[in-house]
Structure 1
């Protein structure tokens, strides 16, 4: 889907989210606490949200449920489990360093 491609290519860190999802909130808060400048796209506030969710699963390889879907540097990192696992292993900071505003 063009909307997804545009967002992930024009922004360093993109989180596809739902406003009512607590796991989405946790991932977004982690990035904010790490000083990352990110774009959060709330699919439940987008008229094309259903199509975006389908594209995230069928075209981008996201898990079900498709949110949160985290992209860093144009690449799919994954969902909450993958992001938290990277962070606990110390591998998240090197990925997000170019997008941090606070160091």
Structure 2
């Protein structure tokens, strides 16, 4: 978990993904449509990606990707992010984290 904490520290938005995951792509596209440029870690392209994936599963991300962190806090996967978006809570959260300025 310490590895994941270091990876998300001081970055407004972090998405853990896999290059072949279409749901991860959708979440990245949603964030990009808001004008957010998230830090994306492709677990299947990382040397220690399997370790990171196991840490994500330990904190409750199942399936392991996408795993979204906003303002250093674990938000959840695609379902949680889409729920925030539909409730109009995602954009204010992104602003608070410093990922969005308008």
TM > 0.5: yes
Asked whether the equivalents of residues 35 and 100 of structure 1 are also in contact (C-alpha less than 8 Å), the reply is yes
Distance 1:30 1:54 in 2: 25
Distance 2:90 2:75 in 1: 10
Q: CA deviation at 1:77?
A: 0.5
Q: CA deviation at 1:38?
A: 1.1
TM-score w.r.t. the length of structure 1 is: 0.91
Which residues of structure 2 form unaligned runs of 5+? none
Over aligned residue pairs, what C-alpha RMSD do you find?
A: 1.1
Distance 1:25 1:38 in 2: 12
Q: Is 1:51 equivalent to 2:42 in the alignment?
A: no
How many residue pairs were aligned? 100
Which residues of structure 1 form unaligned runs of 5+? none
Q: CA deviation at 1:61?
A: 2.2
Q: CA deviation at 1:4?
A: 1.2
Q: CA deviation at 1:76?
A: 0.7
TM-score w.r.t. the length of structure 2 is: 0.92
Report runs of 4+ in structure 1 exceeding 3 Å deviation.
none
